[in-house]
């Protein structure tokens, strides 16, 4: 009797398991079918969206919109062009941007005129709006290619009448190297010119980033690296200046002060032009000097004749 019950119980469990397996299998079939239906619906939705962009209705609306814009543009092309031009304001000249004093003194200079050197120098003193003793600047545009290393113009000259500037000169030699180098270590720059000997140049290597950007690094071409230190100091104090071309091939040089007598300024300018012409690179063909201008620190520029400088 007991054995019959055990057999019946096992049979019941087997049937329940079989039934459960059927239910699970059926659920999987239903889930798979539902998943396929969902994917199909999604694909239909995407297709409908894409088709909507290129449907007959959408294409018609796009064509109507384009035609409307073309009709609108055809009606007012002149007005649109005028509005476009009006929105672009022409650049103002330097005189228009400058102050009242500058505009007043600029009236004394005839626009487009090329002056003789003597006349231009006399005019400089009348067209300086600054209250201080302004510097007289010489700007020379050279016929060179500044991208070519053999056409870079550089040199020094001693202005006959001096520069009008109180030049502070520092000297680095074996005797006073400790004092000068100690100041450089602290980044104390209390000089306008640094003169040294060739044997001391290696000591300045580590200060190149400090001195270079300020134009204070000694260089044999500028006469600041020399064995004749005494002469170099005398020339620096007397008015020796260095010139070099910028990236546009223009030389900018200070040649004196407004307080100088006209003949002294003229001497300095003529000396500067002679030195510049002497530095003409051999590879430059044709006229070396394209244009020359004079100006004061805050005053308008005056174009001067190239032939007479």
Taking residues 94-121, report their average pLDDT: 83
Q: Are 302 and 293 in contact (CB under 8 A)?
A: yes
Distance CA 284, CA 238 (A): 32
Distance CA 242, CA 218 (A): 12
Q: Tell whether the model's pLDDT for residue 59 goes beyond 90.
A: no
The DSSP-derived string for 167-232 is --EEEE-TTTHHHHHHHHHTT----SEEEE-GGGGGGGGGGHHHHGGGT-S--GGGT-B-S-HHHH
Please indicate whether residue 62 or residue 39 has the higher confidence score (pLDDT).
Answer: 62
Three-state SS at 79: helix
**What pLDDT score was predicted for residue 19?**
66
Among 3.50.50.60, 3.30.190.20, 3.65.10.10, 3.10.450.50, name the CATH number for the domain at 92-163+241-309: 3.30.190.20
Provide the residue count of the chain: 309
Q: Tell whether the model's pLDDT for residue 93 goes beyond 60.
A: yes
Residue with tokens 């070519």: 148
Taking residues 97-110, report their average pLDDT: 81
Taking residues 74-86, report their average pLDDT: 59
Taking residues 92-114, report their average pLDDT: 78
Taking residues 64-85, report their average pLDDT: 66
Three-state SS at 22: helix
**What pLDDT score was predicted for residue 54?**
56
DSSP state, residue 115: B
Q: Tell whether the model's pLDDT for residue 91 goes beyond 80.
A: no
The answer regarding whether domain 166-238 maps to CATH 3.40.50.790 reads yes
The DSSP-derived string for 248-286 is TSEEEEEEEETTS-HHHHHHHHHHHHHHHHHT--TT--S
Confidence of residue 220 (pLDDT cuts 50, 70, 90): confident
pLDDT tens readout for residues 183-210: 899 888 888 899 999 998 988 888 889 8
Distance CA 12, CA 260 (A): 127
Three-state SS at 244: strand
pLDDT tens readout for residues 260-295: 999 999 999 999 999 999 888 888 888 899 999 999
Distance CA 133, CA 44 (A): 86
Task: Look at the pTM and tell me if it is higher than 0.95.
Answer: no
Confidence of residue 303 (pLDDT cuts 50, 70, 90): very high
Question: Which long-range contacts does 145-152 make (Cβ < 8 Å, 24+ apart)?
Answer: 145/249, 146/245, 146/246, 146/247, 146/248, 146/249, 148/283, 150/281, 150/282, 150/283, 151/281, 151/283, 151/284, 152/244, 152/245, 152/281
Confidence of residue 14 (pLDDT cuts 50, 70, 90): low
pLDDT tens readout for residues 1-11: 555 555 555 65
**What pLDDT score was predicted for residue 270?**
93
Looking at the DSSP assignment, which residues form a beta bridge with residue 214? Answer: none
Helix (H) or strand (E) holding 12: helix 2-53
Looking at the DSSP assignment, which residues form a beta bridge with residue 138? Answer: 253, 294
For the chain, what are the domain ranges?
Answer: 20-87, 92-163+241-309, 166-238
Residue (of 213, 219, 217, 199) closest to 155 by Cα position: 219
């Amino acid at each position: 009797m007991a054995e019959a019950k055990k057999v019946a119980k096992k049979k019941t469990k087997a049937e329940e398991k079989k039934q459960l397996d059927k239910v699970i299998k059926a659920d999987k079939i239903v889930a798979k079918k539902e998943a396929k239906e969902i994917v199909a619906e999604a694909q239909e939705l995407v297709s409908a969206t894409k088709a909507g962009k290129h449907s007959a209705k959408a294409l018609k609306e796009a064509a109507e919109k384009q035609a409307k814009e073309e009709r609108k543009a055809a009606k007012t092309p002149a007005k649109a062009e005028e509005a476009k031009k009006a929105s672009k304001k022409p650049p103002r000249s330097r005189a228009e941007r400058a102050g009242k004093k500058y505009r007043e003194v600029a009236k004394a200079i005839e626009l487009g005129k090329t002056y003789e050197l003597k006349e231009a120098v006399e005019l400089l003193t009348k067209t300086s709006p600054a209250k201080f003793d302004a510097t007289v600047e010489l700007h020379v545009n050279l016929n060179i290619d500044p991208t070519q290393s053999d056409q870079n113009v550089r040199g020094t000259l001693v202005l006959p009448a001096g520069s009008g500037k109180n030049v502070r000169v520092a000297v680095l030699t074996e005797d006073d190297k400790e004092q000068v180098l100690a100041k450089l270590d602290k980044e104390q720059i209390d000089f306008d010119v640094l003169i040294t000997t060739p044997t001391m140049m290696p000591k300045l290597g580590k200060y190149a980033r400090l001195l270079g950007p300020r134009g204070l690094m000694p260089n044999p071409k500028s006469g600041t690296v020399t064995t004749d230190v005494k002469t170099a100091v005398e020339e620096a104090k007397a008015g020796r200046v260095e010139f070099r071309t910028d990236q546009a091939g223009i030389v900018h040089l200070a040649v004196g002060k407004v307080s100088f007598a006209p003949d002294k300024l003229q001497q300095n300018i003529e000396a500067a032009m002679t030195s510049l012409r002497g530095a003409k690179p051999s590879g430059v063909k044709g006229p070396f000097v394209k244009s020359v201008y004079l100006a004061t620190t805050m005053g308008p520029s005056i174009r001067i004749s190239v032939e007479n400088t």
